[in-house]
Amino acid sequence: MEWSVILPNALYMLGGLKGSFELAGITIVLSFPLGCLLAIGRLSSNPWIKWFCSAFVNILRSNPLILILFWFYFLVPFIIGRPVGDLMSAVIAFVIFFAAYFAEIVRSGIQSVGISQIQAGLSSGLTYSQTMRYIVLPQAIRSMLPALTTECILIFQGTTVAYVIGYSEMLHRASLVAERTLRPVEIYLFVTVIFLLICYSGSLLSRYFEKRL
């Protein structure tokens, strides 16, 4: 074991975290609202909207993330007509993929509030969207917080998959360093520890929310 290999390369690898957080952050910010829209769409009384949103969610949830990534890595430059950076393809793929997962969390959150609360709101003269906005969603979000936090951790973990299209996040940089220094053990154990620290903190946060419920 040559642990000294880690130190000189640590900054470079930790710099990859910037890429991980960037991708994860943009994904969360864009896919959560999209997921909410899809969830509301799935509960809509308009059959077209309901069908479209359900199909969208089901298709995305049936495919592996890495395949969706390949899809968009292929399609995006093709449709736009010129090459795009790997961040762009990755973001589009991730946002669309995780929106489907957020949609399911939000949908079951809304349904857990119970139809009687909706009836109480409607019966006092509020419109459907007022009822959603002031009565259902505030309660739903409280109950969804643990699941939403877990999903964010999964998104962060998912950024490692972007490695396959050459996106520069931490795992990718680690693999470059490991190849160069020929010391995979120390390097990969190092990034493992980093990931563990981050994900464990996330899971503590999720459990905190669950207790607060």
Partner 1 sequence: MKYDFNWGMMIEEPYLEWILDGIWMTVHLALVSWTIALIVGILIGTFRVTKSKWLRVIGAIYVEIFRGIPQLVQLFLWFFVFPMLLSEEWMLWWNGLDHVPYFTAVIAISLFTGARVAEQIRSGIASIPRGQFNAALSTGLTPPQMYRYVIIPYAFRVVIPAIGSEFLTVFKNTALALTVGIAETTYTARSIETDSFHGIEAYSMASLTYMCTTTMVVVFMGWVERRTHISGLITRR
Partner 2 sequence: MPEPIIQLKDVHVSYGDFKALDGVSTDVMPGNCIVICGPSGSGKSTLLRCINALEEFQSGEIIVDGTSVKTCKDLPALRVNIGMVFQHFELYPHMSVLNNVTLAPIKAKKLPKAQAEEIGRKVLDQVGILDQAEKFPAELSGGQQQRAAIARALALEPKLILFDEPTSALDPELISEVLKVMLKLAQAGMTMLVVTHEMGFAREVADEIIFMDHGKIIEHGSADEFFTNAKSERTREFIDKILHKI
The site for partner 1 (CB under 8 A) is made up of 59, 61-67, 70-71, 74-75, 78-79, 81, 108, 157-158, 160-161, 163-164, 171, 175, 178, 184-185, 188-189, 191-192, 195-196, 199-200, 203
Look up residue 208 and give its amino acid: Y
- Shortest Cβ distance from residue 74 to partner 1 (Å)? 4
Question: Which is it for the CA torsion 29, 162, 101, 48, positive or negative?
Answer: positive
CB atoms within 10 A of CB 1: 8
**Partner that binds at residue 29, options partner 1, partner 2, none, CB closer than 5 to 8 Å by kind:** none
The least CB distance from residue 85 to partner 1, in Å, is: 18
| 155 close to 5: Cβ distance less than 8 angstroms | no
Contact of residue 129 among partner 2, partner 1, none (CB under 5-8 Å per partner type) = none
Per partner kind, with CB cut-offs from 5 to 8 A, the member of partner 2, partner 1, none near residue 63 is partner 1
Q: Which residue's structure tokens are 């968009």?
A: 72
Which one of partner 2, partner 1, none interacts with residue 46, CB within 5 to 8 A by kind? none
Closest by CA to 159, choosing from 104, 208, 105, 198, is: 198
Q: Provide the CA 205 distance to its chain's centre, in angstroms.
A: 16
